[in-house]
Structure 1
């Protein structure tokens, strides 16, 4: 009988630190900032899921993927210096601002818009649902927007129906 209690005591002593660690992990994750990104109107589209799973962990060489709280969204960077992505935006019509961006993963057509405030907006063209990427001035002052090509392996998970014309 004494042997049984001793064994149980050792198990409890070993299990207690592991249980504390399990309790601490969610608390530590809560310290990671969450980037506010609104979900797109068609964020629940099943075609967004493979895109979200294929997104890179790092963008532009040094922007780490951050947490977001909305479905079919992603962000890289911190606070006001974050590139954000939303899957499920309304597909845009033809535009003279359509540009083809080639990468090893294939070609992605983007409608590229520069805002008066220095913000760059990239919206996929010819894919449904469409994907929108926003790069604020806090990112573009230190990074080229060529990082958009790094998203091609994920973006091409949605087939293209119409190319830029």
Structure 2
């Protein structure tokens, strides 16, 4: 069975229409102040294709990443590094992350600690994405940036309370 040219053209146009409707728009983000740092280029080329089961999307800003439709995970490299802080710090696969927002917020922001350039990750909790399914995915990319300080929890510092503090890494 062969298709006539008009029928073939109709099939091709229908397929092209379906392909175009399946495209997701580019995620618009603002680049961080130090997005042009060579370290951000090292991170950018190593970003995973999927995070928490969500596919990577195209973004319109240097040194950024987005995953999911709608985007449920965002990444920006080149944010100003933070110094000593009393905010909670967690180490995931060798990367120190500081929780920058209220843990009950709908969108949670984590920032790397002790690495310049610093990277932030924003996780949308409204759509059921968990921190533990996101942060490990970025370890190999972020590990390309040398860590100069390490977060310590209160057990390491000998202090009481839940105040992490930095120390130079060895």
How many equivalent pairs are there?
134
> Structure 1: any 5+ residue segments left out of the alignment?
1-23
Which has the larger share of helix?
A: 1
8 Å contact from structure 1 (residues 101, 149) kept in 2: no
Tell me which residue corresponds to 1:73: 64
Deviations 1:127-157 (A, max 9, x none): 0010010112333xx2221120111000111
Tell me which residue corresponds to 1:21: none
Aligned structure 1 segments of 4 or more residues deviating by more than 4 angstroms: 27-30
Tell me which residue corresponds to 1:100: 90
How many Å apart are 1:50 and its aligned residue? 1.1
Residues 1:31 and 1:102: Cα distance change in structure 2 (over 3 Å): closer
8 Å contact from structure 2 (residues 65, 75) kept in 1: yes
Tell me which residue corresponds to 1:145: 131
> Which SS does the other structure have where 1:65 is aligned?
strand
TM-score (structure 1 length as normaliser) = 0.73
> Which SS does the other structure have where 1:34 is aligned?
coil
Partners of 2:95 and 2:59 in 1: CA distance: 24
Partners of 1:92 and 1:48 in 2: CA distance: 17
Tell me which residue corresponds to 2:120: 132
Deviations 1:112-133 (A, max 9, x none): 1334642100000100010010
TM-score (structure 2 length as normaliser) = 0.71
Residues 1:68 and 1:99: Cα distance change in structure 2 (over 3 Å): same
Q: How do residues 45-124 of structure 1 correspond to structure 2 at under 5 angstroms?
A: 45-60=37-52, 62-79=53-70, 81-103=71-93, 107-115=94-102, 117-124=105-112
How many Å apart are 1:100 and its aligned residue? 3.4
> Structure 2: any 5+ residue segments left out of the alignment?
1-15, 152-165
Q: Which moved more, 1:125-134 or 1:115-124?
A: 115-124
Residues 1:152 and 1:52: Cα distance change in structure 2 (over 3 Å): same
